[in-house]
């Protein structure tokens, strides 16, 4: 495996990860007999399949040959940390994510760019957590790597079955961008700038970039309520993502005591996998997302109109090519290191198009059983770092919708975060209730 330079997008995520940890975590529950030794062997097999999991990042001094950050080989095994929980500590996985996996950076200097946790509890119940930095993974990547890890561990012939030849590092995903006119795309983006005052989530206090810490609140919606939401969305001509984003925008508006027709910008990270020069499967490691925003008018008595607007706005923005604008900006003006990053980050912090978002991978197919294992509650959660104050990660899998909310500690108090979260859940569940037939 050779080394290669980080692309502008990868470098950006690497830089802000050094200021405030930017990890992506995936979790699944296993019921059945689990061996840590087998899991470690399976992690090795997973590394064999993904060159990015066998790398570190070397940062050479500016002006020297090969200057700038580069992926370099690092053949250390992915570490597996073991935790034992009690019967009363059912949500230990969430406290591990909140207290460690989202806050403790992966050592990019030594590599590898991944780590794992095995949480074992009574009754042969176990939680697996796989954590990767955002510079090499999005939510889909994290979930896919977790799924591959579990499959390798459950393989009848053992984790080494079907061993593959180690391949080269993948090319930067920017190299897969479709042909487009960058200048025209920039003109189109400028022409569609949202005029007028746009609301954002206001922090309670400014937290210096290097002191920002992502905290998490976990919520889920069961299958019965989820089916009701699907029926309601179909009836109202909306999408589930539009509904979730509208609910979050409404909760932020109510938190700000805003009145209609106030407008708020809510972000929607979107997958680029299907629109690149070649389709990129779920099983390919990398960060294949961009983010778009919808400036939606707050309508306290008409959530569905807000949801329909977001449903129509995101495809329209994609049609204009706005999802590529941030990468053009990073290539032209993005910082090259932490040392020169503050002006750029401060501008994003103060003038970015949004600072709260809903990252929704949609329905993710994860096996319900493998060998003697029962699998459930597969989901992901992503950190925020310095690109916002409030976010959420949504996974629909194993007959439930997992909605993991994140916020920057200090900028948003725990009490305020819980109030916004409870408002979101209450709003969404109310929208899914069947109309009374008169």
**Tens digit of pLDDT for each residue in 180-215?**
755 555 555 544 556 679 999 999 999 999 999 999
Residues 47 and 86 both lie in one domain: yes
Domain membership of residue 420 as a residue range: 184-365+376-431
Residues 130 and 215 both lie in one domain: no
* In the chain, % of residues over pLDDT 90: 87
Q: Are 387 and 401 in contact (CB under 8 A)?
A: no
CATH number of the domain that residue 90 is part of: 3.30.559.10
| pLDDT at residue 369 greater than cutoff 50 | yes
pLDDT of residue 138: 98
Integer Cα distance of 121 and 99 in angstroms: 19
Residues 190 and 122 both lie in one domain: no
DSSP state at residue 267: E
Integer Cα distance of 187 and 429 in angstroms: 40
DSSP state at residue 7: P
Integer Cα distance of 97 and 215 in angstroms: 9
* In the chain, % of residues over pLDDT 70: 92
Q: What is the pTM of this model?
A: 0.95
Residues 302 and 345 both lie in one domain: yes
**Mean pLDDT, rounded, for 326-335:** 96
Task: Name the 3-class secondary structure at 5.
Answer: strand
Integer Cα distance of 181 and 78 in angstroms: 41
Confidence of residue 2 (pLDDT cuts 50, 70, 90): confident
Task: Name the 3-class secondary structure at 101.
Answer: helix
Q: What is the pLDDT of residues 371-405, one digit of tens each?
A: 999 999 999 999 999 999 999 999 999 999 999 99
Q: Are 329 and 186 in contact (CB under 8 A)?
A: no
Integer Cα distance of 360 and 428 in angstroms: 15
β-pair type (68-73, 55-60): antiparallel
Residues 143 and 214 both lie in one domain: no
Q: Which one has a higher pLDDT value, 164 or 13?
A: 13
Look at residue 172 and tell me if it is in a domain: no
**Mean pLDDT, rounded, for 223-228:** 96
Look at residue 179 and tell me if it is in a domain: no
Residues 144 and 238 both lie in one domain: no
pLDDT of residue 1: 63
pLDDT of residue 437: 32
Look at residue 99 and tell me if it is in a domain: yes
CATH number of the domain that residue 243 is part of: 3.30.559.30
Residues 24 and 87 both lie in one domain: yes
Look at residue 410 and tell me if it is in a domain: yes
C-alpha separations of 154 from 50, 148, 252, 371, 372 in Å: 19, 10, 43, 6, 8
Q: What residue spans of 256-392 are helical by DSSP H? A: 303-319, 325-333, 342-351
C-alpha separations of 272 from 163, 187, 288 in Å: 29, 21, 6
Residues 127 and 238 both lie in one domain: no
Q: Residue 94's CB: how many other CB atoms inside 10 A?
A: 16
pLDDT of residue 433: 80
Confidence of residue 285 (pLDDT cuts 50, 70, 90): very high
Residue that terminates a domain, selected from 154, 169, 200: 154
Q: What is the pLDDT of residues 60-106, one digit of tens each?
A: 755 555 578 999 999 899 999 999 999 889 999 999 999 999 999 99
C-alpha separations of 418 from 214, 219, 228, 255, 267 in Å: 14, 11, 24, 11, 20
Q: How many domains does the chain have?
A: 2
Residues 197 and 282 both lie in one domain: yes
Q: At what angle do helices 303-319 and 223-236 cross, to 10 degrees?
A: 70
Residues 109 and 193 both lie in one domain: no
Residues 194 and 261 both lie in one domain: yes
CA angle 134, 198, 192 (to 5 degrees): 80
Look at residue 240 and tell me if it is in a domain: yes
Query: Does residue 123 have a cis bond before it (omega within 30 degrees)?
Result: no
Look at residue 167 and tell me if it is in a domain: no
Q: How many residues does the chain have?
A: 438
Q: What is the pLDDT of residues 24-67, one digit of tens each?
A: 999 999 999 999 999 999 999 999 999 999 999 999 755 555 57
Q: Compute φ and ψ for 236, nearest 5 degrees.
A: -95, 0
Confidence of residue 162 (pLDDT cuts 50, 70, 90): low
pLDDT of residue 166: 82
Residue that terminates a domain, selected from 154, 172, 203: 154
pLDDT of residue 384: 98
Chain position carrying tokens 């460690």: 100
Q: Are 119 and 85 in contact (CB under 8 A)?
A: yes
Look at residue 438 and tell me if it is in a domain: no
pLDDT of residue 163: 64
Q: Are 386 and 353 in contact (CB under 8 A)?
A: no
Residue that terminates a domain, selected from 134, 154, 174: 154
Q: Which of 95-100's residues contact partners 24+ apart within 8 Å by CB, and which partners?
A: 96/129, 97/25, 97/27, 97/129, 97/216, 97/381, 98/215, 98/216
Question: What would the two tokens of residue 96 be?
Answer: 């591990």
Integer Cα distance of 113 and 128 in angstroms: 17
Task: Name the 3-class secondary structure at 167.
Answer: coil
pLDDT of residue 192: 52
Residues 55 and 126 both lie in one domain: yes
Look at residue 162 and tell me if it is in a domain: no
Task: Name the 3-class secondary structure at 433.
Answer: coil
Q: What is the pLDDT of residues 292-302, one digit of tens each?
A: 999 999 999 99
User: Which residues sit opposite 28 in a β-bridge?
Assistant: 128
Residue-by-residue DSSP string for 186-249: HHHHHHT---S--B-PPPSS---GGG--EEEEEEEEEHHHHHHHHHHHHHHT--HHHHHHHHHH
């Amino acid at each position: 495996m050779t080394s290669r330079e980080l692309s502008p997008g990868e470098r950006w995520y690497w830089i802000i990860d050094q200021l405030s940890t930017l990890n992506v975590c995936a979790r699944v529950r296993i019921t059945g007999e689990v061996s840590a030794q087998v899991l470690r062997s399976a992690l090795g097999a997973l590394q064999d399949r993904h060159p990015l999991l066998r790398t570190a990042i070397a940062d050479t001094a500016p002006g020297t040959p090969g200057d700038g950050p580069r992926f370099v080989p690092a053949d250390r095994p992915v570490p597996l940390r073991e935790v034992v929980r009690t019967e009363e500590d059912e949500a230990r996985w969430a406290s591990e994510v909140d207290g460690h996996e989202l806050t403790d950076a992966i050592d990019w200097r030594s590599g590898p760019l991944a780590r794992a946790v095995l949480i074992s509890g009574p009754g042969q119940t176990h939680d697996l957590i796989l954590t990767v930095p955002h510079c090499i993974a999005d939510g889909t990547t994290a979930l896919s790597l977790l799924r591959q890890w579990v499959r390798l561990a459950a393989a009848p012939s053992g984790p080494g079955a079907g061993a593959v030849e180690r391949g080269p590092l993948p090319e930067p995903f920017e190299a897969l961008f479709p042909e487009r006119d960058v200048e025209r795309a920039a003109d189109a983006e400028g022409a569609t700038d949202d005029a007028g005052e746009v609301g954002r989530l206001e922090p309670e206090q400014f937290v210096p970039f290097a002191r920002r810490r992502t905290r998490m609140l976990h919520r889920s919606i069961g299958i019965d309520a989820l089916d009701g939401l699907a029926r309601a969305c179909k009836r109202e001509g909306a999408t589930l993502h539009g509904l979730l984003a509208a609910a979050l925008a409404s909760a932020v508006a109510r938190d700000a005591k805003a009145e209609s027709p106030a407008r708020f910008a809510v972000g929607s990270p979107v997958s680029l996998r299907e629109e690149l020069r070649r389709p990129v499967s779920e099983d390919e490691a990398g960060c294949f997302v961009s983010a778009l925003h919808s400036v939606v008018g707050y309508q306290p008595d008409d959530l569905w109109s807000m949801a329909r607007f977001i449903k129509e706005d995101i495809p329209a923005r994609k049609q204009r090519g706005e999802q590529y604008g941030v990468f053009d900006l990073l290539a032209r003006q993005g910082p090259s290191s932490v040392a020169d990053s503050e002006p750029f980050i401060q501008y994003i912090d103060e003038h970015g198009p949004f600072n709260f978002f809903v990252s929704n991978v949609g329905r993710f197919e994860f096996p319900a059983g493998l060998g003697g294992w029962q699998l459930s509650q597969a989901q992901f959660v992503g950190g925020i770092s310095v690109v916002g104050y409030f976010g959420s990660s949504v996974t629909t899998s194993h007959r439930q919708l997992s909605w993991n909310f994140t916020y920057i500690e200090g900028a948003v108090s725990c009490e305020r975060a819980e109030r916004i979260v409870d408002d979101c859940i209450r709003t969404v569940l109310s929208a899914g209730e069947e109309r009374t037939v008169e």
